[in-house]
């Protein structure tokens, strides 16, 4: 009997996806769990495995087409087996009772509970294929040696483990050597290679570069934001002398705990504190009224190079220490650039920060990430000559010049929800937190 390949619900709030690439063509043979196609949801690419072995008899959804979860994508069966020429007009609704379910067959073989798909602190990224195989064959992935990039466990690793049979370890789990991306040289994680030539990258003058799903998503989202929200920006300057001194004194200590203490972590902590102090900014627009969010979930814009950018979300940012924030930021930034985020990790943001100063920009007016109320832009930190108030010999104060590490902070806000006084108060709270850092 032919098996149906169904568009899975790849996240709790993800209701549709775009078929970006079929890895198999009609008539090709496929094995169970073999990657069948790639689907993009909110700029996150996910491989969808084959539900069974056989032949790809019919493909119903073309590359570039966006469909809802539950849509029939293809049929797999035996050569000559009769299948419909077209899918049903209305797809069967996808059950949301188990958000973690990422299986693509409607005739499940009653597998045991699979490991969680996505990022595991101990194991690295777990793909849907690997998770399902481990669940069906009752494999402890902690005992499987990963040979993929950055130690990632692949389908071949699980198959090799099953063929060889498990070998009991003589070490306790906490004694096992581990591969951690954050502790490995960049060359080991990404490899060393020369920059592509214009011909290799497809950037040939006079040619037309096709839109990628990520670029289309960015274009649609940004255009909708500008059309829906009246954007207003306010800019303040911040003296980061105390913050720079704190980072210099503590970055080695944080490094011993596995965290790269970046300036962005400080800006995130200051933003979280300001969102608690001025809850009107931690909000979203709706037709019924302004929704004030309880959770403080801050999205961080991460560049993907020529492919655009993505905004993974740090959930519960107001509950994190500086060390936890730095560690979490390192993790999501690494996985974002390595295309290892899960769809849920780019959902649910209530505020966004973009550190455009990393590339040397002094200030910018970023576009609001809908339906949020505001976005913070952080400019480059530069040493500048500024006017200071210093004690004078008579016990008073006098003006003087000094060199300080300064930066411009830009808050772009939705004037439907926020007025200038509230926005300035919020940005002023961030400035004060950073300038008084101790």
Q: What's the burial of 401, exposed, middle or buried (CB within 10 Å: 0-12/13-18/19+)?
A: exposed
Assigned token pair, 280: 């009107």
- Residue 269 near residue 275 (C-beta atoms within 8 A): no
Q: Quick one: DSSP state of residue 210?
A: P
Cα 151 from Cα 44, distance rounded (Å): 21
Task: Out of 221, 415, 424, 436, pick the active-site residue.
Answer: 415
How far is C-alpha 406 from the chain's CA centre?
29
Alpha helix segments (H runs only) across 153-303:
155-164, 186-190, 198-201, 213-228, 241-256, 263-277
Alpha helix segments (H runs only) across 93-144:
128-137
Among 357, 348, 363, 354, CA closest to 308: 354
Is-catalytic flag, 344?
Answer: no
Task: Out of 338, 419, 424, 436, pick the active-site residue.
Answer: 419
- Residue 390 near residue 397 (C-beta atoms within 8 A): yes
Query: What is the end-to-end Cα distance of the chain in Å, rounded?
Result: 67
Is-catalytic flag, 415?
Answer: yes
For the annotated catalytic residues, the residue numbers are 415, 419
């Amino acid at each position: 009997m032919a098996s149906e390949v169904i568009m899975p619900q790849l996240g709790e709030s993800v209701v549709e996806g775009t078929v970006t690439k079929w890895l198999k063509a009609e008539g090709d043979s496929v094995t169970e769990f073999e990657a069948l196609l790639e689907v993009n949801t909110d700029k996150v690419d996910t491989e969808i495995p084959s539900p069974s072995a056989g032949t790809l008899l019919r493909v119903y959804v073309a590359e570039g087409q966006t469909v809802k979860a539950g849509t029939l994508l293809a049929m797999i069966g035996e050569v000559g087996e009769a299948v419909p020429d077209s899918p049903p007009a209305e797809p069967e609704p996808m059950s949301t009772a188990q958000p973690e379910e990422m299986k693509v067959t409607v005739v499940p073989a009653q597998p045991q509970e699979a490991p969680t798909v996505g990022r595991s602190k101990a194991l690295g990224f777990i793909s849907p294929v690997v998770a399902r195989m481990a669940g069906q064959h009752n494999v402890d992935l902690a005992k499987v040696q990963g040979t993929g990039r950055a130690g990632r466990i692949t389908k071949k690793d699980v198959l090799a483990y099953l063929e060889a049979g498990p070998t009991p370890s003589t070490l306790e789990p906490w004694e096992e050597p581990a591969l951690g991306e954050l502790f490995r040289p960049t060359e080991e994680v990404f490899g060393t290679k020369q920059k592509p030539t214009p011909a290799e990258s497809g950037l040939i003058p006079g040619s037309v570069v096709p839109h990628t799903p990520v670029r289309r998503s960015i274009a649609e989202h940004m255009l909708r934001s500008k059309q829906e929200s009246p954007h207003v920006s306010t800019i303040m300057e911040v003296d980061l002398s105390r913050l720079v001194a704190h980072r210099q004194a503590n970055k080695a200590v944080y490094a011993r705990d596995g965290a790269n203490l970046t300036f962005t972590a400080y800006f995130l902590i200051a933003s979280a504190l300001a969102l608690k102090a001025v809850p009107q900014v931690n909000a979203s627009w709706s037709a019924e009224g302004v929704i004030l969010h309880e959770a403080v979930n801050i999205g961080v814009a991460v560049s993907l190079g020529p492919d655009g950018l993505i905004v993974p979300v740090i959930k519960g940012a107001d509950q994190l220490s500086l060390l936890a924030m730095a560690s979490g930021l390192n993790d999501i930034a690494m996985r974002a650039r390595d295309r290892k985020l899960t769809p849920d990790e780019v959902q649910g943001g209530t505020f966004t920060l973009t550190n455009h100063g990393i590339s040397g920009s002094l200030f910018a007016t970023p576009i609001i990430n809908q339906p949020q109320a505001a976005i913070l832009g952080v400019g480059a930190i530069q040493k500048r000559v500024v006017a200071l108030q210093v004690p004078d010999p008579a016990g008073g104060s006098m003006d003087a010049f000094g060199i300080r590490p300064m930066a411009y902070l830009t808050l772009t806000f939705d004037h439907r929800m926020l007025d200038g006084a509230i926005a300035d108060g919020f940005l002023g709270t961030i400035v004060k937190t950073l300038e008084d850092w101790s």
